[in-house]
Amino acid sequence: MRILTGIQPSGTPHIGNYFGYFKQNIDLLGEEENLLMMVDLHALTTVQSPDDLRKYRQELSKDFLACGFDPSKGTLFFQSYVPEHTELMWILSCVTPMGLLERAVSYKDKVKRGLEANVGLFAYPVLQAADILLYGADTVPVGKDQIQHIEIARDIAQKFNNRYGDGLLTIPEARVVPEVAVIPGTDGQKMSKSYGNVIPMFAEESVIKKAIMGIVTDSKGVDEPKNPKTCIVYQLHALLLDDAGKKELAETYKAGGLGYGDAKKNFFEDCMDYFGSMRKKREALKDAEVIAVIEEGSAYAREIAHKTMERVRKAVGLR
């Protein structure tokens, strides 16, 4: 069994990314073969500054290592260090009907949000299909928003196999992780770097504190009972606690006597505690160590990609 996932290096990660992506993928390590790829080619659809792209990619690798990605249990690599991604993408483009991409909601969403409607953005799902099919991945763990992209990858693989030969490409399965609800940002919308409502776990302490103190609440006074179900401070704080801790915190909210200011301070302290060892580990990580991990991971990824491409080139008549 091979599990593969990808994340765009397109900004500074936040606790929504941590609980919705980092933690789950790190927890999966060791059970099956695991590949985690930083999709820098995909990030080119939105990141226009070369310095930013280099920085985000390097920083994101550091974040994964700091959060516990153990390179002896999984492969961490850069998509662009394996040139076969773009070659396979082209070949797959030639079996992909336009209609399949025209139905992709994420393209429409991005254009609606004001991104330039370029070919890269439109063809994004074909590159993603190449990412997955190149490694013969059986399982792709994803959030709900990515299910359609995995469906597209499956469709493309099927079309390719119909034309060139059964079993040439492995049909991947999406694994939707149900327990990961959408984590709210400081304003109650989905936490996202596009909405400026994030709590970035590796930022300066003062930045984290400011973000937490800025969480939107209702106007209930200190003594009034509060509803943990609707309180964003509670929902975010609960992410850090075990079941007993969650229950106790909920009781405190319901009892009244805890003002939002203090509730936020408590959350801030627990947050610094929770991420403390990861923050220390991250500070101690040297750039050279990170680069060595990526080089080694990318070399391994290239070996797999090379074998798939040999097969694919032969199948389509390029060899």
* Positions marked active-site: 110, 190, 193
10 touches ligand TRP by CB under 6 A: no
Q: Using CB under 6 A, which residues numbered 20 to 39 contact ligand TRP? A: 39
Check if the beta carbon of residue 161 is closer than 8 Å to that of residue 169.
yes
Tell the residue number behind the tokens 């393209």, with chain if given.
107
Number of residues that bind ligand ADP (CB under 6 A): 16
Out of 20, 136, 228, 297, point to the residue binding ligand ADP (CB under 6 A). 20
271 touches ligand TRP by CB under 6 A: no
Q: Give the one entry of ligand TRP, ligand ADP, none that residue 183 binds, where binding means its C-beta sits below a cut-off of 5 to 8 angstroms depending on kind.
A: ligand ADP
313 touches ligand ADP by CB under 6 A: no
CB of 17 or CB of 80, closer to ligand ADP? 17
- Amino acid (1-letter code) at residue 195: Y
How many of the other CB atoms lie within 10 Å of CB of 2? 16
| 24-42 residues labelled b (16+ CB within 10 A) or e (exposed) | bbbebbeeebbbbbbbbbb
CB of 42 or CB of 154, closer to ligand TRP? 42
Structure tokens at 78: 């850069």
- Residue 183, classified by CB atoms within 10 Å of its CB into exposed (0-12), middle (13-18) or buried (19+), is buried
Interatomic CA distance for residues 231 and 63, integer angstroms: 29
Interatomic CA distance for residues 176 and 20, integer angstroms: 11
**Stretch in the footprint of ligand ADP (CB under 6 A) among 6-14, 95-103, 199-207, 286-294:** 6-14
Number of residues that bind ligand TRP (CB under 6 A): 14
Q: How far is the CB of 170 from ligand TRP (least distance, A)?
A: 13
Q: How far is the CB of 79 from ligand TRP (least distance, A)?
A: 7
Interatomic CA distance for residues 67 and 281, integer angstroms: 8
CB of 168 or CB of 239, closer to ligand ADP? 239
- Nearest Cα residue to 292 out of 100, 80, 113, 62: 62
131 touches ligand TRP by CB under 6 A: yes
Tell the residue number behind the tokens 């991971």, with chain if given.
297
Closest residue to ligand TRP using C-beta atoms? 6
Interacting residues toward ligand TRP by CB under 6 A:
4-8, 39, 42, 128, 131-132, 140, 142, 146, 149
Which residues contact ligand ADP by CB under 6 A? 7-8, 10, 16-17, 20-21, 143, 180, 182-183, 190-194
